Amino acid sequence: MGLTARIRTRDGWAVSHAVVTVTDMTGTQVLRAEADAEGAVRDAMPLAAGAYTVIVTAVGYAPAAASAIVTASGRAEVGTVTLARRGGTELPPPGPWTIDPAHSSVAAVAQHLGISSVRGRFTQFAGAIEIAPDDVTKSRVEAVVRAGSIDTGNDMRDGHLRSADFLDVEKYPEITFRSTGVTAAAGSDRWTVHGELGMHGVVRPVDLDLAYLGTGADPWGGTRAAFRATAELHRDDFAMNYNQVVQAGIAAIGTTLKVELDVQAVQGEGLPQA
């Protein structure tokens, strides 16, 4: 008997730390209950028959209100109350996430001869994400890429990119990224991830334009979140100044790189606690 409710995010995940407050028509608080680990309030104390307002709050989420009618039996089913991230912004459920390299890609595109593009990808990388529970802007991400795993589909070109003219993979075998902050961008699922990129022995600040694509169950019994991120780099910022100029003064390889990341992350493990 009593009031029951389910508290969920927009993706349908339980908000286990939600607090449900019930007030009567005079605004007097008559009940306060905390959701369980499954985001549910079950059989809270019976209430007198009548109309009530149910207010649901949780740290990091905007409050939500719903109406409830209590029957003569003292029972009221509020149903599902959906909470939105504070400020209208969305990210996956809080906690650790591990990037799945088998279902993710790290790619870069450079202009070739001023008329076309060359696309390359790194086949070996790893990373982890920590979604902060109380303030999503304090979420963190770290990643490492094996520089020698560059693959453009041309062995001769890949060998040149691994040489001292470009990545110099023998001396600098890893490309690293460590976030320094996260800010909300335009749109509820858009973010800017501020961080430091280490490449070719140089560390520079880099911003990733991030889109959160959603969260769901996978066929292996896990939970996955998907992201897409882009950034623009200038290779001379990382002391990769090599260039060959062909006819009409056109550079063989452009100095601007467009980075494209398609990431799937699996819930669990993630970053060590600071």
Residue pLDDT, tens place only, 154-173: 999 899 899 998 899 999 99
| Confidence label for 87 from pLDDT (cuts 50, 70 and 90) | low
- Domains in the chain: ranges and CATH: 3-84 (2.60.40.10), 95-267 (2.40.128.110)
The mean pLDDT value of the chain amounts to: 85
Amino acid code (one letter) for 131:
I
Q: Would you put residue 213 in left (φ > 0), alpha (ψ -120 to 50) or beta?
A: alpha
Which pLDDT value is given to residue 112? 52
What's the rounded Cα separation, in Å, for the pair 244 and 165? 11
* Burial class of residue 70, CB neighbours in 10 A (0-12, 13-18, 19+): buried
Q: Which of 3-17, 64-78, 94-108 has the highest mean pLDDT?
A: 94-108
Cβ neighbours of residue 183 closer than 8 Å, sequence gap 6 or more: 137, 191, 192, 194
Average pLDDT of span 96-102: 95
- Which residue is listed with tokens 């560390």? 203
Residue 157 and residue 141 in contact, taking contact as beta carbons nearer than 8 Å: no
Average pLDDT of span 30-42: 87
pTM over 0.85: no
Least confident of 19-23, 168-172, 178-182: 19-23
What's the rounded Cα separation, in Å, for the pair 240 and 34? 56
What's the rounded Cα separation, in Å, for the pair 16 and 59? 11
